[in-house]
Amino acid sequence: MLESMDESATVLSIVSQYRASLAMVKHVVHACPEDFWLSTGYRNRFWHIAYHALFFAHLYVQASAADFKPWTGHKPDSQFLGLPPWAPNEPFVLPAPYSKGEVMEYHDFCCQEVAAKVSAIRLDADSGFDWLPFDRFEAHLYNIRHIQHHTGQLADRLRTALNIATPWVPKG
């Protein structure tokens, strides 16, 4: 699949798209008013979705689940938007909210992780996660799509509820 492009050029493109996706997360976080950030008007709060997107961006740039070290500000189970897969019958307890400053601190950490980790693992290696049955290249695409899925969700909330537009970032 990548035979027409050398791996280092492909890695640069992947890093660029991660940076663009993470820049869009930054835009939606900054654009969100504080009362909307904490609003209970949605089951999944704005802050919670933003944190969830960053947590999995951070996780999936690691070589494997075993190599993952949570961010120092991580609160247990705060990455889940619902029940953890191993506890489907327990009540969902929403963790204490992260502030915008905390989420932006994590955002900056995730940007550093992307810069450090993407080039460290060959693109044809296994994803490193037994629940992602594909190679690293596809794992990066999967991860970027996940970031964009939730960024789009938050951008749409801002536009629909508050008529706040956020920009598209084409390249990082």
Q: Comparing C-alpha atoms, which of 65, 140, 89, 126 is closest to residue 79?
A: 65
* pLDDT higher at 4 or 98: 98
Query: What angle do the packed helices 46-60 and 100-117 form, to 10 degrees?
Result: 20
pLDDT of the residue at 82: 80
pLDDT in tens, 130-156: 999 999 999 999 999 999 999 999 999
Q: Comparing C-alpha atoms, which of 117, 130, 123, 103 is closest to residue 48?
A: 103
DSSP 169: -
pLDDT of the residue at 84: 75
Measured CA to CA in angstroms, residue 172 lies from 15, 119, 142, 148, 157 at distances of 8, 16, 18, 14, 24
Please give the mean pLDDT across all residues of the chain.
Answer: 93
Structural domains in the chain (count): 1
Is 115 domain-assigned?
A: yes
In this structure, what CATH number is given to the domain that contains residue 74? 1.20.120.450
**Residue 1 pLDDT > 50, yes or no?**
no
Is 63 domain-assigned?
A: yes
pLDDT in tens, 44-87: 999 999 999 999 999 999 999 999 999 999 998 899 888 777 77
pTM comes to 0.93
pLDDT of the residue at 2: 47
Is 147 domain-assigned?
A: yes
Structural domain for 64, as ranges:
7-80+95-162
Is 1 domain-assigned?
A: no
Structure tokens at 172: 């990082």
3-state SS string over 104-117? HHHHHHHHHHHHHH
